[in-house]
Structure 1
Amino acid sequence: MRPTFALALGLTLSVGALSGPLAPVVHAAGASDTDQERAQRWQEIAKSIFGDRKIEPTDTLVKIEAPKRAEDAALVPITLSMPDRGTVKSVSLVIDDNPAPYAAKFEFGPAADTSELKLRVRVNNYTDMHAVVETNDGKLYEAKQFVKASGGCSAPMGMSDEEAMKGMGDMRMKFADAQAGKPVEATLMIRHPNFSGMQMNQVTREFTPARYIEKVTVSAGDEKVFTMTGDISIASNPVINFGFKPDGKPIQVAASDNQGGHWARSFNPPSPTN
């Protein structure tokens, strides 16, 4: 069952922003919140996402890296490190004080290398971020990082909606040098405005309806690397850096958004060098 999303920010959002697949209960927040208030908020959010399952802290199974003070709240770089390969089944990124806190979930397949995963997100307020991994034995572990940023979910695109949507769904992929017997690092770039529903059209003075990448599936040959389920917290023109185990076959990418857009493309990884 999808968690419920309750608006408590005093903002007017489009209907699309209120119905994302990952959106749990959200509460008003501010830079002056105490540690106790933030901890209480996290407990409520965690319950809305994971139910009564126990979540244990860890400093080994997952680490989250983010700037303590973001230069651009609409493009905050996040690195999730999960060095114990083969142990992690999935990782969820939660931005506690965003309108839709459940930013993304990555479910890994047999072709994944989980050592490092990078993406860019929007941050709407001073907030704790949580990375929650589920291990193959069904247990949950979490790491936390506090980030100072404000206004990322409502930040304007700096161009018209029409310009932002040009080439929507176009994909590119860059590969690092491949070495025999080792995972390959890849960077996937998807052209998409990822409208949050909180951005105001500067011409009409109305809020642009939410339209965002909802699902991305990456496969290496016949084996899945990961499936990402996302929401409005993912930055515009999503960029995902990930590792995979090559088998000499093309990388297949399929993406879809919350308004029925579907795109797919195949990429040829580099041949390994000795």
Structure 2
Amino acid sequence: MLKHAAALALIALATLGTGAARAAPVQSDGDDPWPDLKTAIFGDKAIADGSAFMAVEAPSRAYDAAIVPVTIRFDPAHMPAGKVTAITLVVDKNPAPVAAVFHLKDGLADPTIGTRVRVNEYTNIHAVAETADGGLFIAAAFVKAAGGCSAPATKSPDEAEAHLGEMRTKNLDAAQIGAPSRVELLIRHPNYSGMQMDQIKRTYVPAKFIETIDVRYGDTELMQVEGNISLSENPMIEFSFTPPAAGRLTATAKDSDGLVFSGAWSVPAAM
């Protein structure tokens, strides 16, 4: 259910501590919120180590804590039985740990997903993949970065509003019918965290962020994404799909103020 995981992760902030053993041990500074986050988000469900077929790729030391690239990559040769239907991305020590939940539909055969997140302090980043039979698998990476959630937006609020919701794609113009295509969807949106200060007015900018993104090819659903303040400014989603015939890739996004944005692109690209 959309918004379910994010709500649970926000509640978990009140009860952070150390409890159950880690499913995929990575570097830690001794203050590890993951056991309680795991319980808050997934309850008592068992989560198996997925490192044999999935990995979280992120810089060990981020160049910019407000725009940290993360890819959840899968190795199809070692995948377990059952299609990956959802991926929950958790930045453990962020104020809103669940950065995104990616609900992968039948039109998306390759579950490898890329995005960009804010990182507020040195933290583990976990990805939990769910398969069609309900199985859960985990991978993780440790990222050294700080201050990403309070870093000022690159544009003033007025400048951001002028281009709010504009969408574009990268690499889609090279897509070919029947061939796997790796595409980036970019949405112009400040994705305000509520922790940033307007440098002119000297007041905090209220949180305003992309809540949902729906991506389709023709009548076929590719994915639904639940976002949060831990996604970076100008959210980006990278994914693979194979266009079965000429058609249109469409995206619809909704932000926390209820504003709706959309975009559409022809495949093959119009000449």
TM-score, with structure 2 as normaliser: 0.86
Question: Shift in Å at residue 219 of structure 1?
Answer: 0.5
Q: Name 2:20's counterpart in structure 1.
A: none
Question: Hey, what does 1:260 align to over in structure 2?
Answer: 258
Q: Pick closer, same or farther for the CA change 1:201–1:133 going to 2, 3 Å.
A: same
What RMSD in Å do the two structures reach over aligned CA positions? 2.4
**1:171 counterpart letter in structure 2:** M
How many residue pairs get matched?
252
Aligned to 2:228: 231
The equivalences for 1:1-274 within 5 A come to 23-26=10-13, 36-38=30-32, 41-84=33-76, 87-174=83-170, 175=172, 177-247=174-244, 248-270=246-268
Q: Do 1:64 and 1:80's aligned partners in 2 also have CA atoms closer than 8 Å? A: yes
Q: After superposition, what is the alpha-carbon deviation per residue over 1:13-55, rounded to whole angstroms, capped at 9, x for unaligned?
A: xxxxxxx6863422689xxx955532xx101001111111111
In the TM superposition, residue 197 of structure 1 has moved relative to its aligned partner by: 0.3
C-alpha distance in structure 2 between counterparts of 1:176 and 1:115, whole Å: 21
Judging changes above 3 Å, is the alpha-carbon distance between structure 1 residues 87 and 134 closer, same or farther for their aligned structure 2 residues?
A: same
- In structure 2, relative to structure 1, the CA distance for the partners of 1:68 and 1:220 (3 Å cut) is same
In structure 2, C-alpha distance between the alignment counterparts of 1:184 and 1:91, rounded to whole Å:
20
Percent identity over the alignment?
A: 40
Deviates more, 1:176-185 or 1:141-150: 176-185
Task: Classify the secondary structure of the residue corresponding to 1:185.
Answer: strand
1:268 Cα shift? 0.8
CA gap 1:54/1:178 in 2 versus in 1, 3 angstroms: same
Cα distance in 2 for residues equivalent to 1:21 and 1:236: 23
Q: Distance between the aligned counterparts of 1:265 and 1:181, measured in 2? A: 23
Runs of 4+ in 1 over 6 A off after TM superposition: 1-5
Q: Cα deviation per residue 1:119-138 (whole Å; 9 max; x = unaligned)?
A: 11100000000000001110
Deviations 1:220-262 (A, max 9, x none): 1111111000100000011111111213221111100011110
Q: Matched residues in 2 for 1:145 and 1:4: separation?
A: 20
Residue 133 of structure 1 aligns to a residue in which SS?
A: strand
Distance in 2 (alpha carbons) for counterparts of 1:245 and 1:59: 26
2:41, 2:234 → 1: CA distance?
26
